[in-house]
Copies of this chain bind each other. A is one copy, B any other.
């Protein structure tokens, strides 16, 4: 394979990285099957610890099942709101998912039977989750390049998803992904625009040879 990217190719990769948004607003319009195939293929070509490929993807095409997943998320949204205490009302006003409007809903999960994979995980067993997260990020960037939005929902009790999808013991859902056409992409992360949190300074996150000390 050729090593260098052209300047235009390089810029396109950065464009996807910087214009990707976690989306919660979708248009009611289907996604073409070949596009979905490219997105899933992008996920399956993420790096994984010891090449264990721990990702499992369940595509939700059954309307009743999608509705049940929505109910699971709505239940956790209320519980999270209550747990937030003084920020409860502020949280309840946020749009946290677009599961009823988006074209496609995927459940991303960790496979069962992961204990026997030791390469790169003896001291850091959670690296399997890191691999699934890379798969989701590949899909997010591919979706942005396709002009599609993707939203990652983690407001659910994984045991509820396990029951709905008849998952084996040891498997664990880590994301419900909403994918679909959008009217526009947010100019900035929605939680920044809504002033839920502010962007951290580079000094708070990056340092040399020792732990970062915010200045």
Contact = CB atoms under 8 A, between A and B. Distances in A.
Nearest to A18: B45
A208 B29 CA distance: 20
Contacts of A65: 209
Given A3-B182, A80-B119, A133-B129, A142 B17 contact: yes
Interface residues of A, number: 103
Contacts of A89: none
Taken together, the copies of this chain in the complex come to 2
Interface string A188-199: 010110001101
Contacts of A158: 123-124
Contacts of A136: 130, 134
Interface of A: 1, 3-5, 8-10, 12-20, 22, 38, 40, 42, 44-47, 49-53, 55-62, 65, 76, 79-80, 83-84, 91, 118-124, 126-127, 129-134, 136-138, 140-142, 144-147, 152-158, 165-168, 171, 174-175, 182, 184-185, 187, 189, 191-192, 196-197, 199-200, 202, 205-212
